[in-house]
């Protein structure tokens, strides 16, 4: 018995984009090199997408044969892009996970400055959500647990490093005194 699986169905996400309130790119990851071969096409698509969505009241749009689900907050717009045949609910679940994960990491302060200050963690979140267009996870709690650095860990590590440095200093002093 041969199982005929359509592997293209795994590649549901064409791109994830976060823009500011003026439509400027904050972060973008595109996974379909045929639809978005160069940065020029990507930026043109983002400009068109933002112009159609920045004043709209809906959460979904069909643009250039692609389904785009989006969400805005304060001065940021979050977009998840899929093919025209993709299930909108799947795209919305990825969008919700992205937004909730970013919101958790930024401690509910989802705005441009906080995003820029935590750009590395937001990129990790995007990597944990989608890999080359394949959805890996849609549970924001598990994504955050894999991505976020906890303050306690940082303090412990810093404290451990300072303890190590002081011990090295003491050893050097003792060896010089001998």
pLDDT score recorded for residue 51: 92
pLDDT score recorded for residue 10: 74
Cα separation, 166 vs 160, in Å, equals: 10
Q: List the chain residues with pLDDT less than 70.
A: 1-9, 148-165, 168, 173-178
pLDDT score recorded for residue 153: 43
- Domains identified in the chain and CATH numbers: 7-147 (3.30.450.60)
CA distances from 66 to 61, 86, 131 (A): 8, 9, 19
Q: What is the pTM of this model?
A: 0.77
Helix H, strand E, coil C: the string for 7-41 is HHHHECEEEEEEEECCCCEEEEEECCCCCCCCHHH
pLDDT score recorded for residue 177: 66
pLDDT score recorded for residue 152: 38
Q: Which of 138, 115, 120, 113 lies closest to 128, judged by CA?
A: 138
- Torsion, CA 84, CA 32, CA 24, CA 79, rounded to 10: 40
pLDDT score recorded for residue 108: 85
DSSP state at residue 54: T
SS3 72: strand
Cα separation, 130 vs 15, in Å, equals: 9
pLDDT score recorded for residue 73: 87
pLDDT score recorded for residue 162: 65
Q: Which helix (H) or strand (E) holds 171?
A: helix 151-177
Q: In what order do the strands lie in the sheet with 25-30?
A: 25-30, 13-20, 76-83, 66-73, 60-63
């Amino acid at each position: 018995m041969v199982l005929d699986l359509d592997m293209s169905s795994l590649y549901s996400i064409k791109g994830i984009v976060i823009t500011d309130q003026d439509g400027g790119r904050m972060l973008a990851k595109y996974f379909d090199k045929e639809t978005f071969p160069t940065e020029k096409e990507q930026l043109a698509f983002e400009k068109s997408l933002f112009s159609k969505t920045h004043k709209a009241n809906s959460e979904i749009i069909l643009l250039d044969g692609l389904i785009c689900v989006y969400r805005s907050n304060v001065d940021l717009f979050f977009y998840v892009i899929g093919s025209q045949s993709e299930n909108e609910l799947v795209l919305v679940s990825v969008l919700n996970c992205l937004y909730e994960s970013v919101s958790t990491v930024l401690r509910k302060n989802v705005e441009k400055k906080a995003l820029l200050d935590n750009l590395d963690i937001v990129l990790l979140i995007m990597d944990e959500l989608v890999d080359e267009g394949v959805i890996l996870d849609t549970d924001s709690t598990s994504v955050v647990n894999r991505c976020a650095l906890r303050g306690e860990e940082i303090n412990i590590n810093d404290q451990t490093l300072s303890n190590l440095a002081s011990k090295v200093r003491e050893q050097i002093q003792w060896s010089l005194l001998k």
